[in-house]
Amino acid sequence: MRQSKLFTKTRKDAPKDEVSKNAQLLIRGGYIHKEMAGVYSYLPLGLRVLAKIEQIIREEMNAIGGQETKMATLHPSENWKKTGGWDGVDVLFKLQSRTEKEYALGQSEEEIVTPIAQEYAGSYKDLPLSIYQIGQKYRDELRAKSGIMRGREFGMKDMYSFHVNQADFDRNYEIVKAAYLKIFSRCGLVAKVTEASGGAFSEKISYEFMVLTEAGEDDILYCPECTHCANVEISRTKEGGACPKCGKGKLAKARAAEVGNVFDLGQKYPKAFGFTYKDKEGKEQYPIVGCYGIGTTRLMGTIVEVHSDEKGVVWPKEVAPFEAHLISLAGNSIEVAAEAERMYELLQEQGIEVLYDERDARAGEKFADADLLGIPVRLVVSEKTVTQAGVEFSERVSGAASMVPENELIARLKK
């Protein structure tokens, strides 16, 4: 894509009321546009990142048998009244139509997915069943000051699984856990799995996937020697105490952001809707339900918090809006401009996603914008390119630059 055609522009300052680093950098880069506290629009560059995050999640959910849907976000209030959520969920957005009919805006989808599963899964032969979607969610947050990490409108992948018994849910949980860790790793994050209380959803224990960052809203205690990790609120062992799992490590406290969660919902929702299946003996049973969330926009915000420096974002490769940022320093040289155009065509022919900065601007301005946007690889075409038959190649993460001959360039980019 030609940067001169991009309708968004970078800006020097973020809005004064924006306190979070993720939103400051994303607004300055033209990735997102703030509508009000906790509500953002995703502009072309931001949408490219979000689509990549969603695609990673989609691939990993499909790989474990999840079936994608797009469920309604405008919900009939009757379903929420059946489950107790209408009065019990304080963050639920409630709407009234001009005919005084009441609706809810989806903040979670149990009230919709349970009747759907009920219609198709009448026998043990139809289970287990995993249904997911990637879409918008709404929460009536009192405070929304964490940028895209806590929105009133936000993106989420939510999956719901239905099982014949607890053992089958437990088996599935391990499979989803492995898929989740793979998703976060592909997004350039290291996530820890913690036990937490189920909150509004469930009386049972839930699992949270936490990424260590000062921008998080939770305090966790983790063991440096093994995988043990627990939310401070429910940990029986205090900071500095011996790890209850391995006994070797001393628990350390850290700030973390929740990027995913799993709730064992038991039979609550099937009971609310009278959803039973016939078991092998022909007896009616309530299925066990699991709920698995990943906040897609929150994940994007967390990536920015973890992967950024004073100059801007440093996107991990798999979620970057483009693979390479081609910068032409042609000035008044027709020769260099032609060389940059040729390079742009070559990269496109080779299937490299490239943002091409052919704007009539100073080198310093182009480099500052490239640092702010944070595309992993920067390729500079200048007088040197013409005389040395190579492109200046640098990685955003290290800043180290070197001349790479054209015949090695594509292999370097595809590595």
Binding site for Zn ion (CB under 5 A): 223, 225-226, 228, 243, 245-246, 249
Region label for 199, one of left (φ > 0), alpha (ψ between -120 and 50) or beta (otherwise): left
Read off the DSSP letter of residue 59. H
Distances 277 to 132, 264, 291, 362, 386 between C-alpha atoms, Å? 20, 19, 19, 68, 72
* Backbone φ, ψ for residue 90 (5° rounding): -70, -25
Neighbouring-strand partners of residue 356: 2, 326
Residue nearer to Zn ion on the CB measure, 234 or 363: 234
> What's the distance, CA 30 to chain centroid?
18
Minimum distance from CB of 6 to Zn ion (Å)?
48
Q: How do the residues of the chain divide into helix, strand and coil, expressed in percent and rounded to 5?
A: 35, 30, 35
Residue nearer to Zn ion on the CB measure, 145 or 245: 245
Minimum distance from CB of 193 to Zn ion (Å)?
13
**DSSP letter string, 304-362:** HHHSEETTEE---GGG-S-SEEEEE--TT-HHHHHHHHHHHHHHHHTT--EEEE--S--
Residues 6+ apart with CB under 8 A from 382: 329, 330, 336, 392
Cα(266)–Cα(45) distance, integer angstroms: 41
How is residue 318 written in tokens? 């798999």
Minimum distance from CB of 170 to Zn ion (Å)?
22
Minimum distance from CB of 242 to Zn ion (Å)?
8
Residue nearer to Zn ion on the CB measure, 44 or 244: 244
Residue nearer to Zn ion on the CB measure, 92 or 223: 223
Minimum distance from CB of 245 to Zn ion (Å)?
5
Is 75:108 a contact under the CB 8 Å cutoff?
A: no
Q: 199-218 burial, b if ≥16 CB within 10 A, otherwise e?
A: eebbeeebbbbbbbbebbeb
Residue nearer to Zn ion on the CB measure, 22 or 235: 235
Minimum distance from CB of 244 to Zn ion (Å)?
8
Residue nearer to Zn ion on the CB measure, 129 or 223: 223
How is residue 348 written in tokens? 């496109």
Residue nearer to Zn ion on the CB measure, 72 or 246: 246
Minimum distance from CB of 83 to Zn ion (Å)?
38
Helix (H) or strand (E) holding 296: helix 296-306
Minimum distance from CB of 262 to Zn ion (Å)?
21
Minimum distance from CB of 240 to Zn ion (Å)?
13
Residue nearer to Zn ion on the CB measure, 225 or 233: 225
Minimum distance from CB of 247 to Zn ion (Å)?
7
Cα(339)–Cα(330) distance, integer angstroms: 9
Residue nearer to Zn ion on the CB measure, 217 or 225: 225
Cα(152)–Cα(143) distance, integer angstroms: 9
Minimum distance from CB of 178 to Zn ion (Å)?
20
Distances 105 to 72, 95, 273, 286 between C-alpha atoms, Å? 9, 8, 19, 27
Which amino acid makes up residue 189?
Answer: L
Residue nearer to Zn ion on the CB measure, 36 or 246: 246
- Strand, helix or coil at 391? strand
Residue nearer to Zn ion on the CB measure, 194 or 385: 194
Cα(329)–Cα(327) distance, integer angstroms: 6
